[in-house]
Amino acid sequence: MKNQKFPLKVKVGSATATIYRTPVTSNGKRYAAFTVSFYTNGKRQRSVFGNFDDAKKAAHEIALKIAQGRANMMELNGPELESYSATMNLLRPHNLPLHSVVQEYLAAREHLAGESLLTAVKEHAARQKRIIDKSVPEVVDEMLAAKKKHGLSERYLYTLGSDLGRFKKAFKTSIGSVTTRLIEDWLSHQKISGRTHNNLRAQIVALFNFAKARGYLLKGQPTEADDVPRARDRGGKIGILKPEQFAKLISHATGNVRLYLALAGFTGMRASEILRLDWEDVNLQRKFILVAAHKAKTATRRLVPILPVLEQWLAPYRNSKGRIFQSKHVDSQAIYFAASQAIAWPPNCLRHSYASYRLAAVADTARVALEMGNSPQKLMTNYRELADEHDAKAWFAISPKRSKKIIHFVAS
């Protein structure tokens, strides 16, 4: 091999594989290496070997395979050879190998159920031309305006605007260019719980379906948002107050904080619903509180019963008029007050407490769900067995006169 000249061409018929000497240097040492170069489907291929004999053997085998392939091609008859030549002439400007084009064509045909591929492509192109290009911020603003026009609740609109507001800040591009992967990556960086992840995903799916209905996305097929996987929702631990804790809070509270505690603890209404109430919504004579559709989170009108214990707490306000709470921060004030009394305040604890004790008292899931604007399934999942009848009796005995004695009542 010392007298061997490179590059060395190894031929089999008209097929050629060329060997080059390509030594390499590593850690200051020089090592022999040989590269075999050859062409297949118009593209150059290379293989590297550590010694000349292996390279020469491989070059011969490669040249032989190329020659055999050409021989097989030459066995084509006149019309077949003419068709092959015409096909290669069509593909040459696109630099596409024949076998990959055939594979793609056959894969496409499997989805067409006998329909012409060209016809399907033309229909797809026509639909794409009908799509109106809209940015994510534009679609979000249109959707919020449409929902507001439909008379949905302020709470729902606020939540929707907050969720989609974050999304439109992150994606200021065309909604048609937002892929499943981009949405999934964005959600994964939000550092939110599984339940919040799924709620936010649902809002984005609604946005994309709105865009599809408006002609901003292709109709008749799932959107990119539909394919975003849901997070595993393990649910949160339900926290409730004990009757003696609530008795301590409401007996020491004053003014709006005491009134808020009474309404939340004895109706189970959401904080957002309580803060939107007017005294005209409170019917002490017929013993119910009207939660109008535009004030409810679920945008559904419902009547919340005024239980005897709540009626006692509301008695001093019998002739009141106007908005019940002028401040939108009374719920926060109640939380701060609980902290001052060294009482832990789990999230939504008054709503959870009412649901638990009311369900234990009446043993009627459908009834309690209707009162709270919730689903019976959620009540059974979240609140069943959190409290017993003894606890329920104590909770609904926390009246203005007995609130300071409730600890002794519980212990009895």
- The pLDDT tens digits of the residues spanning 102-146 come to 777 777 777 776 677 766 666 665 555 567 889 999 999 999 999
Distance CA 384, CA 304 (A): 21
The number of beta carbons lying within 10 Å of the beta carbon of residue 239 is: 14
Check: CB of residue 175 under 8 Å from CB of residue 208.
yes
What pLDDT, on the 0 to 100 scale, is given for residue 123? Answer: 62
The pLDDT assigned to 226 comes to: 93
Residue 80: per-residue pLDDT: 66
Question: Low-confidence residues of the chain, pLDDT below 70?
Answer: 1-2, 41-42, 69-78, 80-81, 84, 99, 113-114, 118-130, 153-155, 233-237, 295-299, 383-385, 402-412
How open is the CA angle 306-250-407, to the nearest 5 degrees?
A: 100
Write the DSSP string, 306-345.
Answer: --HHHHHHHGGGTT--SBS-S-TTHHHHHHHHHHHTT---
Contact criterion met (CB below 8 Å) for 236 and 199: no
Domain ranges in the chain with CATH number 1.10.150 = 136-227
Instruction: Check residue 119 and give its pLDDT.
Output: 67
**What kind and span of H or E run contains 36?**
strand 34-40
The pLDDT value given to residue 358: 92
Architecture of domain 8-75: 2-Layer Sandwich (3.30)
Question: What topology does CATH give the domain 243-411?
Answer: hpI Integrase; Chain A (1.10.443)
pLDDT score, position 374: 82
Buried (b) or exposed (e) across 292-327, using 16+ Cβ within 10 A?
A: beebbbbbeebebebbebbebbbeeeeeeeeebbee
Number of DSSP helices (H) and strands (E) in the chain, helices first: 18, 9
Among 196, 199, 194, CA closest to 233: 194
Could you say which architecture CATH assigns to the domain 136-227? Orthogonal Bundle (1.10)
Adjacent-strand bridge partners of 35? 20, 48
Q: In the chain, which segments carry CATH 1.10.443.10?
A: 243-411
- State the number of CA atoms in the 13 A half-sphere of 295 facing the CB: 18
CA–CA separation, 347 and 107 (whole Å): 54
